[in-house]
Structure 1
Amino acid sequence: MSMATIFAETQQLPHIPRVVQELIESFRNEDVDVDELSSKVALDQSLTAKVLRLANSAHYGVSRTIANPHDAIMLLGFNTLRTMVLASGMTSAFKAPDNFDMKTFWRDSFAVGALSKWLANYVDGCDRETAFTCGMLHSVGELLIRMVMPKEARHIDEALSMGGTRHTLERGQLGFTSADVGAELAKRWKFPAEMQQAILEQNNPDLDRTYSALAGILHIAQYLNKAHKDGLDEEAILAKFPKAVADAIGMNCDKAYADLADSNDLSSGLEGLLE
């Protein structure tokens, strides 16, 4: 099955609400009408319920109850509301593949998003919210492959258990990777070109190919996420830190290294979507 065939399977492709699509398009628009968008969010009762549950969680520590999306913007900011709505839309858009732990998948995606946002602090000119969204979406291509090509995905999982990297195994067995699929999905959802590029190029540092600053951030964020899950201490993390990637994207490594302990206790605040 070719990558084109995946996107021909329209019944299985994830669909997102119109207001989520408009929020995606707001990444390109500096003059977005936040009142209008908050009103549109309020029209979707399911989205609103999820957003308000998140906004009133202990993670955000607001001083009063947030009763509607407009309150969320006033108290938390438009970027935070947008992230909440995007995360809600994305987690609802995908049907869980058989025998696949979707909660673990999205927790992992949110963790990479939070680490990407943290890393963006150390790269001049890199927008933190854009970095978070890229991190949150970095593996959606893998999820789509699992939905449309379950047998092939299982074969890749089995091969991965014996060693190697997912993107190398995907390239060998499928002729394309989940990064390719994720970038195409981001294109169809009309995410900005820089986000599409970041998702597409996230594995390029392993392949000695050129990559954008956002792609480099995704690569490092995935390294840190795995290191934290593996329980590595700070010395072990620094010993194998992808410094060549960090240097290539102009990261302030000295400052990032000094703050490294902070990266081990990050929370996206979005985990409530999975309850």
Structure 2
Amino acid sequence: MKLLIEKATNLPGIPKVVQELIASFSNEKINSDRIAVILSSDQALTAKVLRMANSVRYGGHRKVGSVKDAVIVLGIDSLRTLVLSVGFVSTLKAPEGFNIKEFWLKSFKVANRCKWLAKSLKTDPEIAYTCGLLHAIGEYLIHLVKQEEAILIDKRVAKGENRSRLEQQLLGFDYAKAGSELADYWHFPQDIVTAIRWQEQPGAQEEPSKYASSILIAQYMLDNEAKIEQGIFDDFPAKLVHSLHLNLSGLYVRMENMTDIDEGIEEFIN
């Protein structure tokens, strides 16, 4: 897998701003001034971030005209997450046969649910959001390095086959493994690398990653919205939730009463 990544001449480079902001997750001393300096080094990205900061999704009640304004209005964590979102969408270009809009739409929805779950899981909401946003980055990588196989896999998945199992059969690895290798190649924090790697089977770890668990639960929430609205949780990953020492009934109640958390995500990808 590492050799495939190294040989992928069409693999995009992550903007330095995005790399620095991801690295800052592990820096407890990061402050608003430093965030402003990092962001200001990329004028094109700054312009896109300021446009989004003035959107309905981020309030739109106060004019944000500079990076300094954005830090004050949004706060460090929200601004950092916004920059990462805009940065990745701007960087990753669609390979042939890959529906990049559909990819990002689902990724943002999973990210929103991972962030929403952070309160119950007692995880950092911004790291959880980033894990959700990048959970399927391995699908993108497979389309870059194994284009023909990737298109075939997509067609079979659309007919109901399991993506991870199918990729293992045809490629010898799946999108979770590919995504974690790419995240490691990009020098992402270990929490994110681990979450992407174990998202399909967080319970297979000796101590399940809460971030990996949040991705799995978030995907369940997205795939079963109608059932959740009806209060039906017959195939919910309850065993995993119990292993994380969470209050299952309390989580059910929260999910049933969850308000719309996806408002405005189309602005990121249009």
TM-score, normalised with respect to structure 2: 0.92
Q: CA deviation at 1:69?
A: 1.6
For 1:166-177, what aligned pairs fall within 5 Å after superposition? 166-177=163-174
Pairs within 5 Å for 1:184-199: 184-199=181-196
Matched-pair contact (CA < 8 Å) for 1:42–1:68: no
1:128 to 125, 129, 134: 125
* Alignment partner of 2:240 out of 217, 240, 245: 245
Question: Does the Cα contact within 8 Å between 1:199 and 1:215 map onto a contact in 2?
Answer: yes
Q: For residue 203 of structure 1, what is the amino acid of its counterpart?
A: E
Instruction: Give the Cα separation in 2 of the matches to 1:103 and 1:85.
Output: 18
Question: Within 5 A, what are the aligned runs for 1:21-170?
Answer: 21-124=19-122, 126-170=123-167
Q: Percent identity?
A: 40
Show CA shifts across 1:195-250 (max 9, x none). Answer: 11111000115xx622311111111111111123xx43533642221111111222
Conservation of the 8 A alpha-carbon contact between 2:131 and 2:196: yes
Question: Is residue 274 from structure 1 mapped to residue 269 from structure 2 by the alignment?
Answer: yes
CA contact (8 A) 1:115 1:263 kept: no
> How far apart, in 1, do the equivalents of 2:243 and 2:230 lie?
22
Q: CA RMSD in A?
A: 1.9
Deviating beyond 6 angstroms after TM superposition, the runs of 4 or more aligned structure 1 residues are none
Which segment is superposed worse, 96-105 or 19-28?
Answer: 96-105
- Which amino acid in the other structure matches residue 168 of structure 2? R
The alpha carbon displacement at 1:270 in A equals 4.4
One-letter code of the match for 1:243?
A
Is 1:256 aligned to residue 251 of structure 2? yes
Q: SS of 1:122's equivalent?
A: helix
Cα deviation for residue 262 of structure 1 reads 4.1
Contact 1:53 1:272 in 2 (8 A): no
- 1:259 CA displacement: 1.7
- Per-residue deviation at 1:36? 2.9
- Corresponding residue number in structure 2 for 1:212: 209
For the 8 Å contact 1:139–1:178, the answer to whether it is kept is yes
Pairwise CA distance, 1:90: 1.0
Structure 1 residues 6, 236: closer, same or farther in 2, change over 3 A? farther
**Correspondence list, 1:1-20, <5 A:** 3-20=1-18
- Structure 2: stretches of 5+ with no match in the other structure: none
- Is 1:222 matched with 2:222? no
Query: In structure 2, how many angstroms separate the alpha carbons of the residues matched to 1:138 and 1:253?
Result: 24
